[in-house]
Amino acid sequence: AQTVTQSQPEMSVQEAETVTLSCTYDTSESDYYLFWYKQPPSRQMILVIRQEAYKQQNATENRFSVNFQKAAKSFSLKISDSQLGDAAMYFCASHHSNYQLIWGAGTKLIIKP
């Protein structure tokens, strides 16, 4: 069965610092996608970054980057220069050939001013 695990229920970081959120997953498929989504208090789910499993290069989107370790089935999110607007729940998710997203339990990110 496909699973996604986020072992950090909550993380806090000082504004302008860097924080890394962890995610591990399990799948027997070779072709899949990995995502990080952000859900602020408004509950709107926002795509932060995506990674295609066949790509070795780590994805980056401005201040957000991932460390994708395919053999270890690890997919961590690094947020640089943290801003107050980054405060939210962050969900790691995987997408497979059965058309569904498998979600982690989420990590609550707190930004300290």
Partner 1 sequence: KAGVTQTPRYLIKTRGQQVTLSCSPISGHRSVSWYQQTPGQGLQFLFEYFSETQRNKGNFPGRFSGRQFSNSRSEMNVSTLELGDSALYLCASSLDGRTPREQYFGPGTRLTVT
* Cβ neighbours of residue 5 closer than 8 Å, sequence gap 6 or more: 23, 24, 25, 26, 104, 105
Among residues 8, 24, 33, 70, which is the contact residue for partner 1, using CB under 8 A? Answer: 33
Using the structure block, give the residue that is written with the tokens 């201040």. 63
Asked if 90 is part of the footprint of partner 1 (rule: CB under 8 A), the reply reads no
Tell me how many residues contact partner 1 (CB under 8 A): 23
Residue 34, token pair as written in the block: 């990995």
Q: Which is nearer to partner 1, 13 or 92 (CB)?
A: 92
Using the structure block, give the residue that is written with the tokens 């989107």. 61
Asked if 105 is part of the footprint of partner 1 (rule: CB under 8 A), the reply reads yes
Q: CB 104: neighbour CB atoms within 10 A? A: 24
Among residues 23, 73, 91, 111, which is the contact residue for partner 1, using CB under 8 A? Answer: 91
- Contact set with partner 1 (CB under 8 A): 33, 35, 37, 42-47, 50, 91, 93, 95, 97-106
